[in-house]
Chain A
Amino acid sequence: MTSVTAISLRFDDNCGRHAVGEPAGRLRWQTAVMPRLLVLEDDDGIRVSLAMALEDEGYETTSHPDAEAALRDPVFGEVDVFLVDLMLGAGMDGFDFIREVRRRSDVPVIVLSAKADTHDIVAALEAGADDYVTKPFEIKEVSARLRALRRRLPTRVAEPSHAGTGEFVIDSANGPLVLDAHAGVLRRGADAVHVTVTEYHLLRELATSAGQVLSRQALLERVWDHGYFGDQRIVDVHVRRVRTKIEVDASEPRLLVTVRGLGYRLDCA
């Protein structure tokens, strides 16, 4: 619990986080209250047991069996992390829900996937998910993902260790495009560019080592906190997503380039 307090304190210092100006999806992590999770899962057993287990770990949990109800929930705007099952009964499926969440906010989404097939995982990540666990999962896998997300968040704040590198000019010609680590935002000229927590952190890692190649494995460990056996496709999909936000032409990246067989490199222009 001590680590939670530490994170909360750092969040208390952060005022720039809301410069993005979301109407909804404000992070509650900055308060002393434990993060609020929204579980969207149509299987009663999993939904109820998962909510109980997460509450035991101290999270505030809201759960819904269908996407429409989750979107109408008055606490929607206060959710810190969404846990979303892809295959829901009738109506909207998990993919639609993730896209809707992304339309409204940059709050992290963890997919609870019944499928480990390449196709569905990649589709969910492309829809905007940050990470995933596959069923049958153990609660400790979900906890590990949540912990990793929470560790990730404070780095959006100016950290003492990065004090000297508050602003990264990524593209001076267009905008200019600036990653402001003090404010925790990405700006093109005067406008904020929407990036999710994970996208921001990925860009931040790349910007810190601008001009150097970072392997997919290294990015996976630094940004997602996944070990050696993590899924490197997560990195690939996020790189694609970041490109659509920073590149002039995402199909011909000039800034965030692929170094074949080695990894990715950010070339600030």
Chain B
Amino acid sequence: MNGTYFIELFLGGLTRGSIYALIALGYTMVYGIIQLINFAHGEIYMIGAFTALIVSSVLSFTGMSPVLIFIIAAIAAVVWAAGYGMTMEKIAYKPLRNAPRLSALISAIGMSLFLQNYVLLAQTSDFQPFPDLIPDLAFLKPIETIMNTTQFIILVTTAVVMVVFTLLIRYTKMGKAMRATAQDMVMAQLVGININKVIMFTFLLGSATAAIGGVLISSHIGQINYYIGFLAGIKAFVAAVLGGIGSIPGAVLGGFVLGLTESFGTGYISSDYEDVFAFAILIIILIFRPSGLLGKTTRKKV
């Protein structure tokens, strides 16, 4: 067994895992608060990537430095995707707040199909090249074969997002309101929390992190089309379930477990079975730990 190859796969797995984790956060938060699997979440990630592509294409005519373009494009993507997320909640989920859960789920699938086809119409089904805007960092030169700059940026950004996220949930007023709403929605209202605001903020936050994931992975892979959100969304959903849906640390852990499994699986066994590994591990976890790695086993009171 080759040591460098192992490290390469490991870092590759972490990179994938970061992206899955970023998307899975949105799934798990929304589920934690309104018990809805937001199947349109992958589409938000795709829209984030497209927004960055459009903004950076426009800005490339201005002759700005690539780094600046990348940063502006990323911010635009985050803002725009957050807007999409909030609008989606308002028109597709809010009217169904008191409806049976299945109705909201169907609405989510409808939203997903709508967004995919809307982007298909606007952007065609061809893969669009995503500009390589991140310049190579000099200090990564010696280990270029193992980890390139984009991977490095992905890992660092994800780490920063996770830390900010944790602080936000743990210490801010909105974070406390989110935790309270997730635990008991009626009681949260009775202590004066406006749950509409909390739910909207949850979608905003989830969409923003998904968009960050979208921008990062697109600059890593270099091309995007209207369909990238589907598989990424499903994989992130797997990550969220793997970690225990509703649990934020669980989503992060699930993302990394999934990314590493895929990376090692494709590296040591066969790359033909890339997606098989993801779903095989989901099935195994669901058999032995139905509530996920960090999920709480709910005991029903009799």
* A and B co-occur in one complex: no
A residues near B (Cβ < 8 Å) are: none
B residues near A (Cβ < 8 Å) are: none
